[in-house]
Structure 1
């Protein structure tokens, strides 16, 4: 009898790529568009992972709905401009070991890879194309089609698309929203220490890792792959 398929779902910003420079700068431009001072870096990074229509009102709680709409568009415009100036590889570089990890997992016949991100489809497609990652991910869940994290919709749809059961699925991410989303979907959550939320906030994680090499070993141990 063949082994069941396994699904590893990756968050993007703060997990696969470090895009904090452009995120902070774009949010500053969004605030400037409505005449507000830029929020502090720590405040901006605290909302990374949320969809923009949720993140912006959290950062600008006193603003009107019209202001928030302008800010969301201002963020998108600024982010696209920054990315166009420097290119994807420089704008959102892969974290050390990320590509090697993806290649190793992709080579495992029983493992499927997916993405669950607060990015738009356009933004994710550009990032994947810029890094040449098109062949890795069989399912890509984005903010355009789902409620914001930590709602479990992205993970539930990824499992539906791939036919993988919750007990054979895990979510890798750097924020509390990722871990809460995993718990809500009934899958394992693996938190990473190199992202935008401190480890202390990843209390819902089933496991914590400090590098991508540890992820490969953890997955093989949990699922006895290659044994």
Structure 2
């Protein structure tokens, strides 16, 4: 079946931001008097806060969760101006668009952060739609964000690929019936369920003929 579109994750995939997210969460938990290690938090980066916090003992509906999320955002925004695009990120997005492949961002970040992240990734001038955690009830690894992207594209799952850097991207895509391509820029091991694994966006671009045969 012809691939007509790709859903692109942003954090870790197009922007080197996973470590900054982990540091921000650790600081936010510390401000709440909760001792959560960096390694534990880092292993969960790729999930949205609604999925991450409960796994660390804070239910999403708790008042503490709201304070945690506000603290995380404050600390992440402090680091955001220092973050860099991943290798080949812009070239990949442009390459897909020039090839006639539709592109949509699918991120566990919320709508309020999207513009700033795209600016830092040097992608803010490209006309690409997005689905974020603000659009759905549950973030990755739940399939909601991928399903919302499919709805916006108006395409069946078999005509779409997902590109992500965490096992949670792959799990989210699989639950939506979408095959996932994995990049190692997020700091995770290759997931067995991925259709293909590459070092970074530049490597994905170099192998587009294999991923998107005419």
**Runs of 5+ consecutive residues of structure 2 not aligned to the other structure:** none
Structure whose CA Rg is larger: 1
Is the contact made by 2:162 and 2:173 (CA closer than 8 Å) also made in structure 1?
Answer: yes
Partner of 1:120: 110
Kept in 1, the 8 Å contact 2:19–2:42? The answer is no
Determine the structure 1 residue equivalent to 2:211: 222
Secondary structure in 2 matching 1:190: strand
CA 1:122 to 1:10, structure 2 compared with 1: closer, same or farther past 3 Å?
same
Structure 1 segment 69-88 matched on structure 2, within 5 A: 69-83=66-80, 87=81
Task: Give the TM-score of the pair, scaled to structure 1.
Answer: 0.83
Q: Which of 93, 108, 128 matches 1:138?
A: 128
Does residue 192 in structure 1 map to residue 190 in structure 2?
Answer: no
- In 2, distance between residues paired with 1:21 and 1:211? 16
For each residue in 1:94-118, what CA deviation from the matched residue of structure 2 results, as whole angstroms up to 9, or x when unmatched?
1111122222112112x01111111
Shift of the 64–159 alpha-carbon distance from structure 1 to 2, 3 Å rule, reads closer
TM-score (norm 2): 0.88
CA positional deviation for 1:61? 5.4
Aligned length, in residue pairs? 213
**Which consecutive residues of structure 1, in runs of 5 or more, have no partner in the other structure?**
none
RMSD of the alignment, in Å?
2.4
Encode CA deviations 1:64-84: one digit per residue, 9 max, x unaligned: 92333321221122222333x
**Separation of aligned partners in 1, 2:121 and 2:61:** 38
